[in-house]
Amino acid sequence: MLKNIKRILIANRGEIAVRAIRSVRELGGESIAIYSEADRDSMHQKLADISICIGAPPTEQSYLNIPSILAAVEITNADAIYPGYGFLAENPRFAEICEKSEIKFIGPPSQTIKLTGDKAAAREAAIEAGVPVIPGSPPVKTLKDALKSAKEIGYPVLIKAAAGGGGRGMRVAHNEQELTRLLPIAQREAETSFGDSRVYIEKFILDPKHVEVQILADEYGNVIYLGDRECSIQRRHQKLLEESPSPFITQEIRKKMGDAAVKFAKHVNFIGAGTVEFIVDKQMNFYFIEMNGRIQVEHPVTEMVTGIDIVAWQLKIADGQKLTINQKDINLKGHSIEFRINAENPNTFIPNPGTVEKLYLPGGYGIRVDTHIYQGYKIPPYYDSLVAKLIVWGKDREEAIRRGRRALKEFILKGFDTTIPFHKKILQDKEFLDGSYTTTLVDSKYIKSK
């Protein structure tokens, strides 16, 4: 139960807001939902104890509008803010304002967010912590600097936005000509997306696996890792399906990655729930990519194989409570897969929101659905296309896959295109079935032009 924070404002929307409201209620707290004018009929504002409209549909006028959110805190007398993922979850300025206003920000300290949110700075921190990183450069200021760094590293190279994420500000260059052409494009995209044009050069790992490690850290220096998640089913660097544990890495590598994640988290004074992301090459070498100081969309697969409520622990850690779980208590049981059900064309992955005309959610043993939609709900066109997360569990990967196939067949969602047909195809794909798939699978095999 919560002891020090009781009235928690959920600074988000959609399924993660619904998820947070449920955990707040279970821990004896009071939930406060904020919503935009486009979300007047949203499930999160219906479920919360208190709801308050904070602005017009565009995110900069609502979910990214810090003055409006702080006004909602004052009006409702909230004593904590839960940011979820996206929006202001990793905004160091917002966290710092909360700290100065004596409002508990449910996440890491602002200085930690600032460090981990800067990929170049996080990379340097990983080096300092003794965590393996991909050969790369500090931020490059000129084309000359970029060409020099790329020559030293060796082509192909990856141009990456220092303040980036989600694949924006990222380009692959196979030679000097491509680097010369792509560098200004990546810089402009980084500036547009993040207000920061800095980029750096990194060795491009061909056909990698994307594996991440979930950690929990309290304010007393206790840090544990909750196994790993395989996140290599991606389109244009955006995840579509995740599973835990990874079918590719060995138990020995899993422990080494977990220990590296804990080492990094301690080095940057992390507090809360976070994820340390790695790429793994075919020789089983793993390299630090970044740390996300927030809840991840794919956190349910970790909850399913560990039995640990990660959102509840976010709240309890923010409440000043100590972790009561030790590393030896973490034993992964079975296998879990999460399917992101997006309102997108399943061939082009272009968003196409609409009205939920018919909805039937799958059920039965080992099935979980996290969603904010309901029959008759009109999906706003202003936000992320994620409408539901289907999570399945099985005693092993084979059973989880069979259960996933059954659940996807049961999932009825009419009114617009979704990624359900894509997921059905993936569960028949040979590379997925044998666990050899990499981050290039979807882009090379499943994306079709309009």
pLDDT in tens, 121-133: 999 999 999 999 9
pLDDT in tens, 358-389: 999 999 999 999 999 999 999 999 999 999 99
Look at residues 38, 15, 26 and name the one whose alpha carbon lies nearest to residue 314.
26
What does the alpha-carbon distance between residue 195 and residue 384 come to, in Å, rounded to a whole number?
20
Strands 7-10 and 80-82: parallel
User: What is the distance, to the nearest Å, from the Cα of residue 51 to the centroid of all Cα atoms in its chain?
Assistant: 26
Asked whether the beta carbons of 435 and 250 are under 8 A apart, the reply is: no
Look at residues 339, 376, 384 and name the one whose alpha carbon lies nearest to residue 354.
376
Mean pLDDT calculated for residue range 140-159 = 95
Asked whether the beta carbons of 240 and 340 are under 8 A apart, the reply is: yes
What does the alpha-carbon distance between residue 180 and residue 248 come to, in Å, rounded to a whole number?
36
Instruction: Give φ, ψ of 256 to 5 degrees.
Output: -65, -40
229, 294, 340, 403: the active-site residue: 294
Q: Is the dihedral of CA 76, 80, 84, 88 positive or negative?
A: positive
Tokens of 271: 């507090």
What does the alpha-carbon distance between residue 368 and residue 284 come to, in Å, rounded to a whole number?
32
Mean pLDDT calculated for residue range 236-252 = 95
What DSSP string runs through 245-300? Answer: S-SSS-HHHHHHHHHHHHHHHHHTT--EEEEEEEEE-TT--EEEEEEE-S--TTHH
Whether the pLDDT of residue 60 is over 70: the answer is yes
Three-state SS for 414?
A: strand
- Tokens 């729930």, residue located: 273
Whether the pLDDT of residue 167 is over 90: the answer is no
What does the alpha-carbon distance between residue 250 and residue 134 come to, in Å, rounded to a whole number?
21
202, exposed or middle or buried, with CB in 10 Å at 0-12, 13-18, 19+? buried
pLDDT in tens, 296-348: 999 999 999 999 999 999 999 999 999 999 999 999 999 999 999 999 999 99
Question: Using 50, 70 and 90 to split pLDDT, how confident is the model at 441?
Answer: very high
Asked whether the beta carbons of 190 and 198 are under 8 A apart, the reply is: yes
Contacting residues for 431 by C-beta, under 8 A, at least 6 apart: 437, 441
pLDDT in tens, 87-130: 999 999 999 999 999 999 999 999 999 999 998 899 999 999 99
Please report the domains of the chain, with CATH numbers, ordered by start residue: 7-106 (3.40.50.20), 135-203 (3.30.1490.20), 209-445 (3.30.470.20)
Whether the pLDDT of residue 23 is over 70: the answer is yes
Question: Mean pLDDT in the chain?
Answer: 96
What does the alpha-carbon distance between residue 268 and residue 276 come to, in Å, rounded to a whole number?
12
Whether the pLDDT of residue 49 is over 70: the answer is yes
Question: Can you give the pLDDT at residue 168?
Answer: 79
Asked whether the beta carbons of 303 and 309 are under 8 A apart, the reply is: yes
What does the alpha-carbon distance between residue 250 and residue 238 come to, in Å, rounded to a whole number?
25
- Tokens 């993660």, residue located: 16
What does the alpha-carbon distance between residue 398 and residue 404 come to, in Å, rounded to a whole number?
10
Asked whether the beta carbons of 50 and 31 are under 8 A apart, the reply is: yes
116, exposed or middle or buried, with CB in 10 Å at 0-12, 13-18, 19+? buried
Question: Can you give the pLDDT at residue 102?
Answer: 95
User: Is 294 annotated as catalytic?
Assistant: yes
What does the alpha-carbon distance between residue 183 and residue 170 come to, in Å, rounded to a whole number?
9
Contacting residues for 188 by C-beta, under 8 A, at least 6 apart: 197
CA dihedral 248, 250, 254, 256 (to 10 degrees): -130
Percent of the chain with pLDDT over 70: 99
What DSSP string runs through 350-392? Answer: -B---B--EEE---STTEEEEE---TTPBPPTTS--EEEEEEE
Question: Can you give the pLDDT at residue 237?
Answer: 86
